[in-house]
Amino acid sequence: MKRFFEPDRKTWLHRSNPALKLAVFVGLFVWTVLTHRIDASFYLACLFLLLLFFASGYPLWKTALLASGFALAFASASVTMILFGKGSEIWWSWGPVSISKESFYRGLHLGFRSIAFGCQGLLFVLTTTSTGLFYALMQRVRLSPKYAYSFMASIRLLPMALEELRIRRDALAVRGAGGKKGASRLLQMPELYALPLLAQSIRRAQRTAAAMEVKRFDAGRRRTYYYDSPVTKYDAGAFLVMLAAVLAAALLAQNLPIFELGDMRMNP
Partner 1 sequence: MSAKGSPAASRRKGLTLTDVLVTVVVSLVLGVVYHVWASVSSIAGLLFIQSDELVYGMWFAASTLAFLLIRKPGVALIAEIAAAHLEIAFGSAYGIQLLLYSVLQGLAAELIFAAFRYRNTSAVVAGLAGVAAAAGSLLADIYYGYVTEYATWVIVLKYSLRAISSFVIAGWLMYGLAKLLERAGVTQSLRPVDRKEYDALDG
Which residues of the shown chain bind partner 1 in the complex (CB under 8 A)? 1, 5, 25-26, 29, 33, 66, 69-70, 73, 77, 80-81, 84-86, 96, 98, 103, 106, 110, 117-122, 124-126, 130, 146-147, 149-151, 153-155, 157-158, 161-162, 165, 190-191, 194-195, 197-199, 201-206, 208-210, 212-214, 217-218, 264-266
* CA dist., res. 92 & res. 193, Å (int): 48
Our CB check for partner 1 shows the closer of 124 and 135 to be 124
Q: Helices 130-140 and 18-33 sit at what angle, rounded to 10 degrees?
A: 100
Residue 255 Cβ, how far from partner 1 at the closest point, in Å? 26
* CA dist., res. 137 & res. 67, Å (int): 28
Our CB check for partner 1 shows the closer of 140 and 146 to be 146
Our CB check for partner 1 shows the closer of 34 and 256 to be 34
Q: Helices 38-55 and 101-127 sit at what angle, rounded to 10 degrees?
A: 20
Residue 100: strand pairing partners = 90
* CA dist., res. 236 & res. 31, Å (int): 19
Our CB check for partner 1 shows the closer of 43 and 134 to be 134
DSSP 104-118: HHHHHHHHHHHHHHH
Our CB check for partner 1 shows the closer of 140 and 204 to be 204
Residue 48 Cβ, how far from partner 1 at the closest point, in Å? 11
| Residues 247, 252, 257, 258, CA torsion sign | negative
Our CB check for partner 1 shows the closer of 129 and 254 to be 129
DSSP 186-215: HHHHIIIIIHHHHHHHHHHHHHHHHHHHHT
Residue 112 Cβ, how far from partner 1 at the closest point, in Å? 13
Q: Count the alpha carbons within 13 Å of 172 in the hemisphere toward its beta carbon.
A: 16
How big is the chain by its Cα radius of gyration, in Å?
A: 24
Residue 57 Cβ, how far from partner 1 at the closest point, in Å? 14
Residue 178 Cβ, how far from partner 1 at the closest point, in Å? 15
Residue 107 Cβ, how far from partner 1 at the closest point, in Å? 9
Our CB check for partner 1 shows the closer of 7 and 257 to be 7
Cβ atoms within 10 Å, residue 8: 11
* CA dist., res. 225 & res. 134, Å (int): 11
Our CB check for partner 1 shows the closer of 132 and 257 to be 132
Residue 6 Cβ, how far from partner 1 at the closest point, in Å? 11
Nearest to 82 by CA among 264, 258, 262: 264
Residue 258 Cβ, how far from partner 1 at the closest point, in Å? 20
